[in-house]
Amino acid sequence: MDWTAAQAPSLYDIAVLAEETRKAFPQPFDYPARSVVIQVEELADEDMLADLELDDPYELTGLYDGIPLTERSVMDQPDQPDMIWLFRRAILEEWIERGDVSLAELVGNVVVHEFAHHFGWSDKDIARIDRWWE
């Protein structure tokens, strides 16, 4: 491979990998997963880190922001759609450190993990969708 023209995966590249993972969700999760916004940023901002009591933005590869379906009631009036945040530089750092998985596998694992918060999935549910979890 000629590395002279190689570039690091972009925000868009990470978003494409995330969408591929979402599109592969089995029924009955495929349709409701479409209502969750996936946003890719370079790193988590200071407010997100403070809310999670984290100091190092490289510790956070993804974040679910919303009310899990298993906890939602008719009284909940969200002011924004449920969101999954992916943090490109933290994902790339983990990918480099691991060195034993493809970028698509790692992004897929982060996406599945964040959707697990949204759907209220058990470890068994996660393992049906993401074998890497086992």
Domain definitions of the chain by residue range = 8-66+80-133
What gap in Å lies between CA 58 and CA 60, rounded to an integer?
5
Rounded Cα–Cα distance for residues 25 and 28 (Å): 8
Strand partners, 64: 84
Over its length of 134 residues, how does the chain's per-residue pLDDT go in tens digits?
788 988 999 999 999 999 999 999 888 888 889 999 999 999 999 999 999 999 999 999 999 998 887 877 666 666 778 999 999 999 999 999 999 999 999 999 999 999 998 888 888 878 877 766 55
Task: Give this prediction's pTM.
Answer: 0.88
Please tell us whether the domain made up of 8-66+80-133 is placed in CATH 3.30.2010.20: yes
pLDDT at res. 123: 80
CA distances from 84 to 25, 47, 117, 127, 133 (A): 15, 16, 10, 20, 19
What pLDDT score was predicted for residue 27?
86
